Amino acid sequence: MGDGMRGVLVTGASRGIGRAVAEAFAARGDRVAVHYGNGASDAEETLRGLTGDGHVLVRGDLSDPEAATRVVTEAVDGLGAVDVLVNNAALAPTADSRHAIAEVAYEDWVSVWRRTFEVNLFGAANVTWAVARHLLARSAPGAVVNVGSRGAFRGEPEHPAYGASKAALHALGQSLAIALAPHNIAVSTVAPGFVATERQAAKLTGDEGDALRSQSPFGRVGTPAEVAAAVVYLASPEAAWSSGTILDVNGASYLRT
């Protein structure tokens, strides 16, 4: 793609952080493949709101290995090429997926762990493989940015599968940063704290709201646009030397040593 325009595949882009990431890339002139698993109407709304033209929708359940590679093929066909991958799709903690070890039945424990890792880790790994092989076949530089989580470091006692899957995603990114650097492909990760997405609106307006805001010395929670800004930077050619990094985007709510 000429004039600095890149093809960008954003997984899980129907709402929240994924939508903000898609909007940020489109605003800088890139063409975006908006991936979704469910919620076609939300994904279509994301697509309609993107600046510029040439953007496409791609659908697939990333827990299915065949669907994961098909999503990349459709993104390449729709955009002409994929230069940047943002692995944002994930099963996030919800009341229904709570699995505190002292409380949950074994069959539910096994089910949550399996499903979480199928999407959050295996899906991301499979999509990354397909995008990396596409870049290698073109002998083209590129970037992969994973959306991890603060929970990978501080722990998620009520959702341990989520915390573990994000820790594994961080490690995957660092391994692939080393493997792909000789091919001029940078791999990095953002680790957001609590973010004010549509999914979290009830928590922020309810009894938990003040406690969530007080986690950060800024006295608020993060926004999807702030996470998106970090993703866009790490995907830029100027950030290639930061390959392998895990960038905390949590408003100093959790500091690693």
The SS3 assignment for 84 reads: strand
Q: From the candidates 36, 165, 166, 188, which is the catalytic residue?
A: 166
Q: How far apart are CA 77 and CA 41, in angstroms?
A: 22
Q: Give CA–CA dist 28/238, Å, rounded.
A: 15
Collect all residues with Cβ–Cβ distance below 8 Å to 55 and sequence separation of at least 6: 22, 26, 31, 32, 33, 34, 47
Residue with tokens 């076949």: 137
Contact 130, 60 (CB under 8 A): no
The β-bridge partners of 222 are 195
Strands (E) in 98-208, as ranges, are 142-147, 185-192
In the residue annotation, 106 being an active-site residue is answered as no
Nearest to 144 by CA among 113, 189, 206, 194: 189
Give all strands (DSSP E) within the chain, no chain letters.
7-10, 31-36, 56-59, 84-87, 142-147, 185-192, 246-249
- Active site (annotated) includes residue 36: no
- In the set 149, 165, 188, 243, the catalytic residue is 149
Q: Is position 63 annotated as part of the catalytic site?
A: no
- 51: number of Cβ within 10 Å: 14
Q: Which of 14, 36, 63, 162 is catalytic?
A: 162
Supply the residues annotated as catalytic.
149, 162, 166
